[in-house]
Structure formats: C-alpha cells, structure tokens
C-alpha cells in the first residue's frame, strides 16, 4: 500500500491550530500522526521559545536555589556550574513568567521547564550538563510534556488574565524528585509569584 499525504488542521498543545502535512497508509496511522503532532507546540511558538532562550531581554530573576546533593568534591564544582546557568537562564525565566502571566501557553510550558531544570539538586547532573549542555530541543520537549495535562486552554487564559494563580531535565527530576515535579506541573506565574524557583 502506497503512502498518502494530506494537509490537516491540528490543534497543538500551545492552543494554536496549524496545518500539518500528515503521511499515512492506514486510517489508524493517520490518527496516530495527528495525535503525535497535537502533542507539540506550533511553529510560531517554537520560534518564540528559541527567542526566549537565546535572546530573553535584560531583566533578570533573582531566585534562591536549594543546596545541591553529592560528594564533598562534587557539590562546590556543581554549584559553580549551576550558578553560571542561572546567570544565563534567569533572564529567560523572567521573560517567560511575564509572557505566561498574559496567557501564553508556550511561555507557561517553558517557564515550568526552566523550573524543572533548576529544581534538580543532583550535582552529577550539573557536571554532566557542563560537558554536554541541554539545548533548545530538550527544553522544548520538556515544555511540551509539562503542558500536556493543562489542555483546558480557555480556562488557563481566563485565569492568567485575572492574575490568579537524552535524559532531559524533566526525566531526571521525575526520577529523583517526583513530588517537586508534581508541584511544578501546577505552577502558574502571577503578579504574586514568589521568586524562589523551588517553592513553586
């Protein structure tokens, strides 16, 4: 059976509808391809995420991080490495927080993904990350995961408008501290949001 290619409107996890090219041989494959596509953000939101990570603006977020865990030799080294990441991605955290306050679901996902990243207290993670840094696709993948249980788009935007409240970082935190991950999954920034990333 030859493959069929159609254009289909798919509502993405960011809440936007995008026309995707779906390749399939059977009706089951068609629905599976659409389901996979719906678990991702749209092209425009993907570009926005890249901008928030690569050129987030000048405003930084001053937040307190929990002490790392590890050997006597690992902890000081890993803490220094994590602080370097904080200097870079603290601005991304602030930028995504502001955008999420306005109801941007892609920003909410990336905001939560950054909280997950900084929520990891395993020194080995930060040492490994310095050698092989997590890139955009890791953060995007984690952001999409963190949005998949938040699919009531209209309700989220109403709450936001009212100011109510390899091994990715997500996978690592799920394994090491699932209770913190569960709290981060519910994190909704607002004007009353505290600046302690680990208190979300």
pLDDT at 165: 36
pLDDT at 119: 92
Structure token pair of residue 2: 């030859």
pLDDT tens for residues 125-178? Answer: 999 999 988 889 999 999 998 888 655 544 444 544 544 335 678 777 778 778
- Please state the three-class secondary structure of 120-175 as a single string: CCEHHHHHHHHHCCCCHHHHHHHHHHHHCCCCCHHHHHHHHHCCCCCCCHHHHHHH
Structure token pair of residue 21: 């090219």
Q: Is 21 exposed, middle or buried (0-12, 13-18, 19+ CB in 10 A)?
A: exposed
pLDDT at 21: 83
pLDDT at 157: 47
Structure token pair of residue 118: 């900084």
Residue 63 has pLDDT above 50, yes or no: yes
Tokens 């509808």 locate to 17
Query: Taking a C-beta distance cutoff of 8 angstroms, is the pair 32, 40 a contact?
Result: no
pLDDT tens for residues 91-119? Answer: 999 999 889 988 899 999 999 999 999 99
């Amino acid at each position: 059976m030859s493959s069929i290619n159609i254009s289909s409107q798919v509502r993405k996890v960011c809440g936007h509808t995008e026309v995707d090219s779906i390749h399939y041989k059977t009706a089951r494959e068609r629905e599976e391809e659409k389901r996979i596509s719906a678990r991702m953000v749209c092209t425009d939101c993907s570009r926005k995420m890249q901008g928030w990570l690569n050129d987030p603006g000048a405003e930084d977020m001053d937040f307190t991080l929990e002490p790392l865990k590890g050997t006597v030799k690992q902890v000081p080294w890993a803490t220094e490495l994590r602080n370097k990441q904080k200097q870079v991605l603290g601005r991304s955290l602030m930028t995504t927080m502001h955008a999420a306050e306005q109801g941007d679901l892609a920003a909410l996902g990336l905001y939560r993904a950054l909280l997950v990243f900084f929520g990891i207290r395993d020194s080995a993670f930060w040492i490994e990350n310095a050698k092989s840094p997590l890139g955009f696709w890791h953060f995007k993948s984690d952001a999409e995961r963190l949005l998949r249980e938040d699919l009531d788009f209209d309700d989220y935007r109403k709450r936001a408008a009212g100011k109510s409240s390899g091994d990715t970082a997500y996978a690592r935190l799920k394994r090491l501290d699932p209770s913190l991950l569960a709290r981060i999954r519910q994190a909704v920034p607002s004007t009353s949001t505290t600046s302690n990333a680990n208190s979300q």
